[in-house]
Structure 1
Amino acid sequence: MTVEVPVGTSMLDALQAAGVEIMYDCLRGECGLCRVRILQADGPVDHRDVFLSPRQRAEGRQMCACVSRIAGPGVTIDC
């Protein structure tokens, strides 16, 4: 499934609008419930959460869909 994430829209909001059920709670990047696994990204992750550790951020294999962004045209995730 391909989901377009418009500028100014979170990945979480775009996924929900497309009918993808994803767990979430705080919408601030604090709880980690909306964390998704990154399979492939066309750019670095702009981590805006406080949930992931510095090591997890550096690995670039996870992101919180409610607040974080990809600095590139696309990303493949497993949610």
Structure 2
Amino acid sequence: MVVLKSPVNIYEQHLESNDTNYTPLTPLSFIARTSRIYPNLTAVVHGDRKYSWTETYERARRLASSLKAKGVRKGDK
């Protein structure tokens, strides 16, 4: 099993987490961030098809745009 580590930022070493240096990621912000850091790594495998983090992010954005265009809004059920 391969464990991926984020690039080490020397300015963040030995810092306690607080609102200034640590913010929890939403699912979309997680995908966006990961697609910038690991654009070509595999994010999703479905059968024989593999999707990179960049492809996953682009698909999520297209889905969101399509739902918005169809009138789906935050809070809809």
TM over 0.5: no
Determine which structure has more spread, i.e. the larger CA radius of gyration: 2
Which of the two has greater helix per residue?
2
Higher RCO (CA-CA < 8 Å; seq separation 6+): 1
Q: Could you tell me the TM-score, scaled by structure 2's length?
A: 0.22
Which of the two has greater strand per residue?
1
